[in-house]
């Protein structure tokens, strides 16, 4: 009987310690991290497969470290899905600090060749792109931060003269 009471006290203590680390979320003092897409880097481009790296920066405005558990993403060109996936590496962003990370992306533009050639064939017409995602944070009480970036590119501007 005495042993069970000690186990319950210890379990309660662990629960309180776990909740105290998440108290900023419970009380509303937690600020979402700011996530920025810094760069899209071409790693390798072949006919049937293209490899890219998306370089991100996570800014943590909070007074406690932030655990990042991964990223779910979609990349669209004129509402045509080019790539989607999950990046599941874990890392920590220290309090009031930032951290850069890279997400490897693989596409097969050959599947969309007809549509892409139509879009890119008009060198002066803007092409709309969109990156959607969710950054997963936290350990016991997970939280997702939405990521969205969109804009237009002019294909003619990308062709060297």
Per-residue pLDDT of the chain in tens (161 residues, 90 and over written 9)? 555 554 445 544 444 444 434 434 444 577 889 988 888 888 998 888 889 898 999 999 999 999 999 999 998 888 888 889 999 999 999 999 999 999 999 888 778 778 777 776 777 788 888 889 999 998 777 788 898 888 887 766 655 55
pLDDT tens column, 17-62: 444 344 344 445 778 899 888 888 889 988 888 898 989 999 999 9
pTM given for the model: 0.68
Question: Token digits for 9?
Answer: 């006290």
**What are the two backbone dihedrals, phi and then psi, of residue 53, each rounded to the nearest 5 degrees?**
-125, 125
Same domain, 87 and 148: yes
**pLDDT > 90 in the chain, percent:** 30
Same domain, 121 and 151: yes
> Which helix (H) or strand (E) element contains residue 130?
strand 127-137
Same domain, 87 and 77: yes
Whether the Cβ atoms of residue 128 and residue 61 lie closer than 8 Å to each other? no
Same domain, 95 and 17: no
Same domain, 79 and 119: yes
Same domain, 111 and 147: yes
How far, in Å, CA of 107 to CA of 46, rounded?
Answer: 10
Number of structural domains the chain divides into: 2
Same domain, 16 and 38: no
CA distances 149 to 81, 95, 127, 132, Å, are 15, 25, 14, 7
Same domain, 137 and 86: yes
- Terminal C-alpha separation, the chain: 83
DSSP structural state of residue 111: G
Pairing, β 50-60 against β 66-77: unpaired
Question: Token digits for 104?
Answer: 């490897």
The range of the structural domain enclosing residue 2 comes to 1-30
Same domain, 127 and 75: yes
């Amino acid at each position: 009987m005495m042993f069970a009471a000690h186990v319950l006290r210890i379990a309660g203590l662990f629960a309180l310690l776990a909740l105290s680390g998440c108290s900023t979320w419970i009380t509303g003092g937690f600020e979402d991290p700011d996530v920025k897409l810094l760069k899209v880097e071409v790693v390798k481009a072949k006919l049937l497969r293209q490899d890219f790296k998306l370089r991100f920066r996570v800014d943590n405005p909070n007074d406690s470290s932030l655990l990042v558990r991964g990223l779910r993403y979609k990349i669209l060109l004129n509402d045509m899905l080019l790539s989607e996936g999950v990046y599941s590496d874990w890392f920590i962003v220290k309090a009031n600090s930032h951290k850069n990370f890279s997400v490897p992306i693989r596409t097969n533009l050959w599947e969309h060749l007809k549509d892409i050639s139509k879009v890119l064939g008009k060198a002066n017409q803007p092409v709309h792109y969109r990156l959607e995602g969710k950054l997963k944070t936290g350990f016991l009480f997970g939280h997702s931060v939405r990521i969205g970036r969109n804009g237009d590119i002019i294909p003619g501007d990308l062709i060297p003269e």
